[in-house]
Structure 1
Amino acid sequence: MVQGLLHSAGEPFSMSNAVFAIIRGHRRALDVTSVVQGKTRFFSVMMLTWGLVADIDIESEKFRWMGSARIDFYSLLRAVNLRRYNGRILFVPAPGYEGFGDPVEQTISCKSNGATNAAEGDIPDVCNNETCTYSGPSTDDADLEWRSLKGPFVNVWISNIAFASEGVMIAPQAQFADGYLDAAIIKDCPWSVALGLLLRMKDGSYIESPYVEYFKVKALRIEPGLRVGSSTIGGIIDSDGEVLARGDRSQTKEEPEHLMAYGPPIQLMVDQGLATIFSPR
């Protein structure tokens, strides 16, 4: 988040610049994403990941003794032993991005503030007698045209900010308060291509690859499936660095339950400019 704010103002990343930004007191609006599964809902301001990046982020914790090198080491390990995940992504494209994915037939209307139509064969878990528990931005059902992408996927990255860290630009076109999420989907590809894409994330040029679908959405729904080649093991879904759902059934009785379950659809919608943050200018 800090890197993105400083970069947007043309200032280099440093602790002192971040502190001065707070002291100056300039503010800017920030979109907030509601992440909903059934009756469970929470809010995100940065990103949601499923697949390669989530695996690297969470599973590399065992190598924390290596310091920041753990990310580079585990990125190489995961790229060479690449995993692919089945599933489907449904989304309402932002204006200008209607050509991405395949059209989906809407069969059921779920109308309320920020509610969305259901895709064919699906009844949104957030609906109850045509009333949604989600209380986000008001949207006219008639304006929502869902589209879809089918897996297998290597990585699904849904971001509200341009940078995941100081040296990783995940969404070059992301804006803090444009009312949209940036989706960067890495499709099935050879491990060597995946490794190259990880290396190109430094400047965001990885989105130019034919193996990457990059577009903006107003609403998005993830239907996560199992890992390719496995009948029992899924993947990790995390948001803002915290695990939402884990499909590997590795959770022990001593571990706290994850906020959401792996398998049922997870829906994301945007509240434009709901939050306020300090900014360099």
Structure 2
Amino acid sequence: MEVYVMDHDQQSSPAVIITDLVFVDDVYAVVTLTADGELRSVGQERRQLTMKKDVIGFVVEGKQIRVKAVVERGGGGICCGESDGDFTRKDFVFEPLYEDAKNRWCYSLRRYLDSLGRPKRLLVFVNPFGGKKSANKIFVKEVKPLLEDADIQLDVQETKYQLHAKEIVRSMDVSKYDGIVCVSGDGVLVEVVNGLLEREDWRNALKLPIGMVPAGTGNGMIKSLLDSVGLRCCASSATISIIRGHKRSVDVATISQGTTKFFSVLMLAWGLVADIDIESEKFRWMGSARIDFYALQRILCLRQYNGRILFIPAPGFESYGQLVSNSLYKEPPPISDKELGYQGPDAKFEDLEWREIKGPFVSVWLHNVPWGAENTLAAPDAKFSDGFLDLVVLKTCPKLVLLSLLRQLSDGTHVHSPYVSYLKVKAFVLEPGARVDEPDKEGIIDSDGEVLARGRKTYKCDQKALMSYDKLQITVDQGLATLFSPEY
């Protein structure tokens, strides 16, 4: 590639890849692409775009080149498509004077964009059943146009039933793609992670980044990613993050009960939060209001559960709970030579200092990322890849105070309540028990929005769950999975 260098101020100005006299809005202007990715136009007015941040692609329209760009907004307004967001379209159109100049510009722009390591082919899952059942509309109107502007090839798969995405990724050819995108809530993300971890080549498969576009009920993971850099949780912001191709790692928790395993990237809940999350499904016809309605009902008829939790505290949290000489933690059974897939962290916990908190409990909540849903900042101090889970424990609380705590979930201030214990743990054991007031009834264990275990006389207790309502263990593998993420 021919490189031109500016004559003036050579030491402070970056090298120029290409510069030309062109037409912009039917008047002459000088357009320059520099080695540091600045696309500048100097004519009747000065314009400037950054290839790394603003430009998503370009197309040739007759004699003209249209550079497709999105620019971050400082305030309100509408984003690409019809949703509120943080970006607005700001395409830049110019006309080189000669055909060979147009070809040089196309070559230079394509080569620069290719050098950024952005995805070129994506497998896209669209879940038509999640949330308000609007995933198809969101994909067609907001996601697909942006991905096509970025010249990304798409293989689109509409999920037909629960665990469909997991089945596909468990046997797909990962070498065909630069990433997987979930236009859904958090459920399809969890399926994808579990499918990748069950592969024989899971180490290589987990290098494939996963992107989320909010189209479900919770959207906790993408809310956590976008909020961490001050972006709103909308389809356009999520899609632009995928196009730019930045990545970050995220911890994966292994929940095990004997030889049965489930891989979690969001949370585990037992007690009040799990009951509200799962039992409110009977009021699904109310839409999102079902959560608030059922939360009020559950607080008025508050349940407490017997049981105990054990944990290895993160540094700085050793004062929580009571030291136990025998944690009852058991190493998982030896791995069979025939067993494929990831088997959990390769760590020894028997000799570490375990601590315990005994019930009864109102709620026990483990979180991997800050937001449990778009309006629920469950664990404000949670980090994506610190190797710890954030534990929120509520043992007893007056009902009026509890109502106030649920309202404070929207900004995370609930963790400052004297009724709440909030700490970080490296490993965790849950020994769930029966209800205090009705010992013949037990509870529900919920992980990433799905029922992990149903106790006696619980909601839909006749339905089979992955695990039994009994002791389970949770360990964390730091930064195991890869996500498409805004630059941070």
Q: TM-score, normalised by structure 1?
A: 0.88
Report whether the alignment pairs 1:261 with 2:468.
Answer: yes
Distance 1:210 1:252 in 2: 34
Match of 2:422 in 1: 214
| Number of equivalences | 261
Distance 1:40 1:179 in 2: 22
Secondary structure of residue in 1 paired with 2:241: helix
2:259·2:333 contact (CA, 8 Å) conserved in 1? no
Paired residue type of 1:163: W
Give structure 1 stretches of 5+ with no counterpart: 107-118
**Residue 203 of structure 1, aligned match among 395, 407, 411:** 411
Question: What does 1:101-250 correspond to in 2, within 5 Å?
Answer: 101-106=321-326, 119=327, 122=328, 124=330, 126-127=332-333, 135-141=343-349, 144-250=352-458
Distance 1:10 1:123 in 2: 40
The structure, 1 or 2, with the larger RCO (C-alpha pairs under 8 Å, 6+ apart) is 1
Match of 1:272 in 2: 478
Match of 1:66 in 2: 286
Distance 1:204 1:186 in 2: 15
**Residue 311 of structure 2, aligned match among 91, 94, 97:** 91
Superposed displacement of residue 81, structure 1: 1.2
Report whether the alignment pairs 1:55 with 2:275.
Answer: yes
Sort the Cα spacing of 1:179 and 1:125 in 2 relative to 1 into closer, same or farther, 3 A: closer
Q: TM-score, normalised by structure 2?
A: 0.51
Report whether the alignment pairs 1:79 with 2:299.
Answer: yes
**Residue 25 of structure 1, aligned match among 239, 245, 269:** 245
Superposed displacement of residue 188, structure 1: 1.3
The sequence identity of aligned pairs, in percent, is 55
Superposed displacement of residue 206, structure 1: 0.3
Sort the Cα spacing of 1:20 and 1:246 in 2 relative to 1 into closer, same or farther, 3 A: same
Secondary structure of residue in 2 paired with 1:199: helix
Sort the Cα spacing of 1:12 and 1:225 in 2 relative to 1 into closer, same or farther, 3 A: same
Paired residue type of 1:173: D
1:37·1:125 contact (CA, 8 Å) conserved in 2? no
Match of 2:204 in 1: none
Distance 1:23 1:50 in 2: 37
Match of 1:39 in 2: 259
Paired residue type of 2:280: S
Q: Which structure is larger by alpha-carbon Rg, 1 or 2?
A: 2
Superposed displacement of residue 232, structure 1: 1.1
Paired residue type of 2:449: G
The CA deviation string for residues 140-177 of structure 1, in whole angstroms up to 9 with x for no partner, is 55761100001111111001010011111000000000
Give structure 2 stretches of 5+ with no counterpart: 1-220
Paired residue type of 2:229: A
Secondary structure of residue in 1 paired with 2:281: helix
1:38·1:125 contact (CA, 8 Å) conserved in 2? no
Distance 1:159 1:245 in 2: 18
Paired residue type of 2:225: L
Paired residue type of 1:258: A
The CA deviation string for residues 25-57 of structure 1, in whole angstroms up to 9 with x for no partner, is 111001000000112111000000001111111
RMSD: 1.9
Match of 2:216 in 1: none
The CA deviation string for residues 73-131 of structure 1, in whole angstroms up to 9 with x for no partner, is 1111111111111110100000111111000103xxxxxxxxxxxx1xx3637346xxx
2:314·2:388 contact (CA, 8 Å) conserved in 1? yes
The CA deviation string for residues 202-247 of structure 1, in whole angstroms up to 9 with x for no partner, is 1110011111000000000000010111121111101000001111
Sort the Cα spacing of 1:207 and 1:271 in 2 relative to 1 into closer, same or farther, 3 A: same
1:161·1:176 contact (CA, 8 Å) conserved in 2? yes
Distance 1:30 1:16 in 2: 22
Match of 1:113 in 2: none
Distance 1:38 1:269 in 2: 14
Sort the Cα spacing of 1:61 and 1:274 in 2 relative to 1 into closer, same or farther, 3 A: same
Distance 1:17 1:143 in 2: 46
1:21·1:278 contact (CA, 8 Å) conserved in 2? yes
Sort the Cα spacing of 1:201 and 1:141 in 2 relative to 1 into closer, same or farther, 3 A: closer
Paired residue type of 2:425: V
Sort the Cα spacing of 1:101 and 1:12 in 2 relative to 1 into closer, same or farther, 3 A: same
Match of 1:7 in 2: 227
| Worse overlay, 213-222 or 13-22 | 13-22
